[in-house]
Amino acid sequence: GAVVSQHPSWVICKSGTSVKIECRSLDFQATTMFWYRQFPKQSLMLMATSNEGSKATYEQGVEKDKFLINHASLTLSTLTVTSAHPEDSSFYICSARDRGVYNSPLHFGNGTRLTVT
Amino acid sequence: SQQGEEDPQALSIQEGENATMNCSYKTSINNLQWYRQNSGRGLVHLILIRSNEREKHSGRLRVTLDTSKKSSSLLITASRAADTASYFCATDGNKLVFGAGTILRVKS
């Protein structure tokens, strides 16, 4: 089945530093990838839609200069949390659609637990 | 903004019982999907039902969709302890929007 690999699975960083999270589709190509944020015991909130070869589309209230998204290839999207602060601590999950499958469901990575101290 | 809203928020049942979770949404959809999330992990796709379908089965899962009421239900039959997880519905207009989820606990 379609596999999305997300790395790292967890990261602890100091306030003010930047953290990069990678999302790879291992056995399919994804024109579009999605980045979600999830707080404890809450649902997933869509942060942005990552489009291969073009700029990401951010949801209302999400700072694009804070959460930099790059989708340089059909199998890789990255999310960089810049100048991280404790309030950025959260669970970040990426997902991708298989562009070769009509109405493909989203395939999710296992998430990245970010803790900013 | 979140569109799907699940109820109940939490459900605790005994192994072997059936579990029913409901989802309501607000706008028109192309399809509705159900996902499962184990604690601290990513989501796993369970089943997709298209807007022109009314019922769909997959193993122990049964999903119904009522577009007139803008609601869907997920039934897990003969539940097992391993079914313990959070379950989310997601509506797919242009992009997936997730509901708040139902936390299911199956006691053995």
Span A45-62, pLDDT tens digits = 999 999 888 889 999 999
CB A57 within 8 A of CB A31: no
Which pLDDT tens digit goes with each residue over B59-91?
A: 999 999 999 999 999 999 999 999 999 999 988
User: How many CB atoms sit inside 10 A of residue B93's CB?
Assistant: 13
pLDDT of residue A21: 97
In chain A, which residues touch B (CB < 8 A)? 4, 6, 34, 36, 41-46, 49, 91, 93, 95, 103, 105-111, 113
pLDDT at B4 over 70: no
Name the residue with tokens 């192994």: B15
Nearest to A43 among B48, B50, B98 (CB): B98
What is the Cα–Cα distance from A108 to B6, expressed in whole angstroms? 20
Cβ–Cβ gap B43/A95 under 8 Å: yes
CB B21 within 8 A of CB B4: no
Torsion, Cα B99 B94 A7 A20, to 10 degrees, reads -110
DSSP H helical ranges for chain B:
none
